Amino acid sequence: MKIAVLPGDGIGPEIVAEAVKVLKALELPFEMETAAVGGSAFDAHGHPLPEATLALAKAADAVLFGAVGDWKYDKLERQFRPEQAILGLRKQLGLFANFRPAICYEQLTHASSLKPELVAGLDILIIRELTGDIYFGQPRGRRTAIDGHFPGSEEAFDTMRYSRPEIERIAHVAFQAARKRNRKLTSVDKANVLETFQFWKDVVTEVHAQYPDVQLEHLYVDNAAMQLVRAPKAFDVVVTGNLFGDILSDEAALLTGSIGMLPSACLDKNGKGLYEPSHGSAPDIAGKGVANPLATILSAAMMLRYTLNQPEAADRIESAVKAVLGAGLRTGDIWSEGTTKVGTRAMGDAVVAAITGKTTITKT
Shortest separation between residue 4's beta carbon and ligand NAD, angstroms: 15
In whole angstroms, how far apart are CA 270 and each of 5, 6, 171, 236, 307? 20, 21, 14, 23, 9
Which alpha helices (DSSP H) does 231-362 contain, by range? 242-256, 294-306, 311-326, 344-356
User: Which one of 88-96, 276-284, 314-322, 346-354 is the stretch in contact with ligand NAD (CB under 6 A)?
Assistant: 276-284
By C-beta, is 230 or 288 nearer to ligand NAD?
Answer: 288
Concatenated DSSP letters of 46-90:
SSSS-HHHHHHHHHSSEEEEEE---GGGTTS-GGGSTHHHHHHHH
DSSP conformation class of 39: H
Stretch that binds ligand NAD, among 47-55, 111-119, 266-274, 287-295 (CB under 6 A): 287-295
Catalytic residue among 135, 220, 233, 363: 135
Q: Does 349 bind ligand NAD (CB under 6 A)?
A: no
When asked if residue 333 is in the footprint of ligand NAD (CB under 6 A), the reply is yes
Bridge pairing between strands 154-157 and 340-341: unpaired
Applying CB under 6 A, the span of 87-95, 167-175, 284-292, 353-361 interacting with ligand NAD comes to 284-292
Q: Tell me, yes or no, if 105 is annotated catalytic.
A: no
Asked if 86 touches ligand NAD (CB under 6 A), the answer is yes
> With CB under 6 A as the contact rule, which of the stretches 149-157, 173-181, 218-226, 290-298 interacts with ligand NAD?
290-298
Cα–Cα distances (Å) from 234 to 205, 237, 239, 245, 252, in that order, read 20, 10, 14, 18, 13
Question: Closest by alpha carbon to 193, among 201, 182, 204?
Answer: 201
Q: Specify which residues 239 forms β-bridges with.
A: 127, 187
282 is an interface residue for ligand NAD by CB under 6 A: yes
Does residue 285 bind ligand NAD (CB under 6 A)? yes
Q: Between 90 and 218, whose beta carbon lies closer to ligand NAD? A: 90
The candidate with the shortest Cα–Cα distance to 351, out of 11, 14, 25, is 25
Contacts of 289 by beta carbon, 8 Å cutoff, 6+ apart:
14, 343, 344, 345
User: Per rule CB under 6 A, is residue 240 in the interface with ligand NAD?
Assistant: no
Helices (H) and strands (E) counted in the chain, each on its own, are 12, 14
Does position 256 interact with ligand NAD (CB under 6 A)? The reply is no
Interaction of residue 273 with ligand NAD, rule CB under 6 A = no
User: For this structure, is 250 an active site residue?
Assistant: yes
Question: Residue 111, by phi and psi: left (phi above 0), alpha (psi -120 to 50) or beta?
Answer: alpha
Q: In which region does residue 267 sit, left (phi positive, over 0), alpha (psi from -120 to 50) or beta (all else)?
A: beta
Q: How far apart are CA 40 and CA 52, in angstroms?
A: 14
Q: Is 236 a catalytic residue?
A: no
Cβ at position 108, least distance to ligand NAD in Å: 13
**Which range touches ligand NAD (CB under 6 A), out of 92-100, 184-192, 272-280, 318-326?**
272-280
Residues 56-85 that bind ligand NAD (CB under 6 A): 67-70, 83
Q: How far is the CB of 87 from ligand NAD (least distance, A)?
A: 10
Say whether residue 292 binds ligand NAD (CB under 6 A). Answer: yes
Q: How many C-alpha atoms does 150 have within 13 Å on its Cβ side?
A: 6
- Which candidate in 202, 246, 322, 341 is catalytic? 246
Q: Which is nearer to ligand NAD, 48 or 189 (CB)?
A: 48
Q: List interacting residues with ligand NAD (CB under 6 A).
A: 11, 15, 67-70, 83, 86, 259-260, 276, 279-285, 291-292, 295, 333
Residues assigned a catalytic role: 135, 190, 222, 246, 250
